[in-house]
Amino acid sequence: MTDSDPKVADEVPWSNDITEYDNRHDETYLGLLDADEAGASSDDIARTILGIDPAGEPERARKAVDSHLARARWMTKVGYRLILAGQYPGAERDRAKQDELLQSLGIGGVPPNNQTSR
């Protein structure tokens, strides 16, 4: 973990919606899933991905790995659908940036509700 990485909570703040915490930790979730798939130990995951010393803080490390890995798995089963539907914090801002980029390229934005004129 570098100084520019967002601080990792001891446990993920759980919600049935995409949260700001999820937005800030999407790369962390991907790293966790990759490490888990590769067979990395919980101690290695805590140390290298979450930046927690499992020898010095074993309980915190275990809780953080379990919590973040559970959330990462939730994102692959449920959360991604919310992202695709634009139901996440900052979606309006992201759509405005996309429209701005398309307009700057001379491609005009997508009409509201994806309706096309006939």
Delimit the domains of the chain by residue range: 1-87, 90-118
pLDDT at 4: 40
pLDDT in the model for residue 46: 97
pLDDT along the chain (118 residues), means of 10: 63 93 94 98 97 97 97 94 84 82 78 54
The separation between the first and the last C-alpha atoms of the chain, rounded to the nearest angstrom, is: 52
Q: DSSP class of residue 109?
A: P
pLDDT at 19: 93
Q: Write out the two tokens for 90.
A: 């900052």
pLDDT of residue 111: 58
Q: So what's the pLDDT on residue 6?
A: 64
CA distance 78 to 89: 16
Q: What are phi and psi of 93, to 5 degrees?
A: -60, -45
Angle at 6 between CA 94 and CA 53, to 5 degrees: 150
pLDDT at residue 116, as a whole number: 53
Contacts of 77 (CB under 8 A, 6+ apart): none
State the greatest distance between any 2 C-alpha atoms of the chain, in Å, as a whole number.
Answer: 65
- Look up residue 17 and give its two tokens: 């919606």
Threshold 0.75, pTM exceeds: no
